[in-house]
Structure 1
Amino acid sequence: MELLCSSLEKRAEKVQKEIEVSLAGEQLRLRLHNSKQIRNRINNMFTYPCSFTAKDVVTWLIDYKEAPDRETAINIMQKFMEHNIIHHVCDQHSTFKDTKLLYRFRNDDGTLSPTTESRIMSRSKRIFEMMMTQEDSILKVREEGSKRYRRTFLGSQMLDWLMKHSLVNGRLDGETLCRGMLEQGIIQPVSGHYHFSDSNRVYQFCINFRRRRKLIEVLNETKPWLEPMQESPDSPFCLRKLGAELPQGSFVCAGDPQPEPPPLPKRPSCMVSEFYSLCSPPKAATSLPSVLKKPVTLEELLAPDAPYVRKTLSINSDAVGWGFIVRGTGPCHIQAVDPTGPAAASGAKVRQFIVTVNEIDCLDLDYRTIYNHIISGPKKLILEVLEPID
């Protein structure tokens, strides 16, 4: 039995690495689309849709601090080629070259052949996202022995949830899916035997599908994606709810934590303090001061001589999120803006007060309600704000 468990664990680690590379590749693909690196290109009288130039992307990786030098950037892209995530547009080159050759993501040109593993990963990702956005998610922080584990659930609880949302055709089908998730290292038991059962045994999502991957991780054969308990379990750019434990007085993580002060972590980092997590403890949630110089009432904002100018911002979400933080109980203000994110590019600034979200009046709404309006809307976010006149 021990040898069997060890074999399953090693196989799960191998598949888990494949999944992490795949997720990193997908995040890169969306970012390159957002930055217009991927577009229709013409070469030798032929048009190659959704392609990118190798040399430009290598430069992009360095500019965005994803690689320290060109050699590392090339190695990152070569790793994606080896994992069949990208390929030369004519399949004439099996290596990634720092030239003006054109490459494409297989997810963009339909040449990515689905496998049993990829189907399970896709279903797992959907399940994870659904659970993380629910008001009363079954994913909880639980203690087992002397350790605490995040994103955990009970085996029987997972099957009940899958059937409730019509994601499986019965409990046996659900068990088969969960065993596949376990074999791929997507979920794991926090202790005990290495198998899935319809019981009160505690399991954990050990892959955080929302985590912002550093691309250099794909070159690391260890497990850089494993997150310590004291770190934030979610990318702070997501503006997506982690669970039901929203602390009183917290604020919506609509972007990277960059209040003024304290200093801001770099955008590519996914490891930030628990405070910036939506499930952070109340004590931490009150430790960060507001960026407002003084509290502002709704009457003060709407006064005829109020020192504010109304602006309209159009923010397109990238692969990570919108790139700002909302705080307040009404009126709400922008607490922080990621300087490299979509919000900053659209003119969002700290201390701007939110008037409308996609034409919904939000001046008297708290951050939770604004949060719900944003995540339930389209990726293109239209904000009306009142900006202080300095």
Structure 2
Amino acid sequence: MASHSVADGRAPGGPLYDLMYGHIHASALRAVAEHGIADLLADGPRSAGELAERSGTRAEPLRRVLRLLASRGLFREERGEFVLTEEGAALRTDVPGSQRAPVLMFTDEMFRRAAAGIPETLCTGEPGFDAAYGSPFFAYLEETPEKSRLFDSAMTSRAGTVNAHVTEVCALPAGGTVVDVGGGRGGLLRQVLTEAPGLTGVLYDRPETIAENLLDGEAALAGRWRAEGGDFFASVPEGGDLYLLKNILHDWPDEDCLRILRAVRRATVPGTRLLVVDAVLPDDGTAHPAVALDIVMLMVLRGRERTADEFAALLADAGFRLVRVLPTRSMSSVVEAEAV
């Protein structure tokens, strides 16, 4: 098959154009999420005119935006009407695992401005977010309540299905105490305690975070868990039989990860299990969705996604042995380790 270049008089296409227009696709995606178009298609196909009338938009530009997103598989155009595909259904607000909140977060100006700083990041190694906002990401969230709510909503949406996928692949102990370090509002701990009725749990995070936990209203878990506030860089609750670190280590550079892991190790005895839930990147260049997330870490935080070998080295330096890596049906894997 002959190849063509710009010199042939044909415009180039393929991956280069997909990348070049990537911000346009993201902006179109954000627009339909903001206007709730997927919810309007939940009951069946509608024309651009109907959708525009119901969403308070204009039919002609809406049709063009939907046509673009149809080319990416989120919608389908049939006889002048638009149909929501299985992929596009994740934009609905009323479905389990809705991804509308993550879409709104990752297409927010916070991330667009941070991404614009990547050329400078290549020279300095510093996150573009810090340069754009004059503040580290989490400090900015603390100072900006509406962005903090957006972030919390997106993380809750992303976490829901991941928690179930984690317990699918892990052999939970029949009894003992599980300590969820940096457990946020307690979604994973709730899932674990529900799956393993013989376990008790400790939800450990910043006091202001655990104050809004998801477990207080769970009558079936009453008396089986407690919340404890603190700083996981300094210490974590002692005496657990199983420790959890979900989506924590990828937020931090190696030196900070070692501080967290060593705090966990000080709280444990040899043989104690640790489950690290994070993406595990392939080391052979195989495509993986977390490769893009790794760039988010680069532009927003100082963290990174890691390979199994990189996890093994971190764990060994902190006094743990990597036992195995368990893939899940989500982007995350479970890195199982043991205190030595």
| Greater fraction helix | 2
Which TM-score tier does this pair reach, normalised by the shorter chain?
Answer: under 0.3
- The TM-score with structure 1 as length reference comes to 0.25
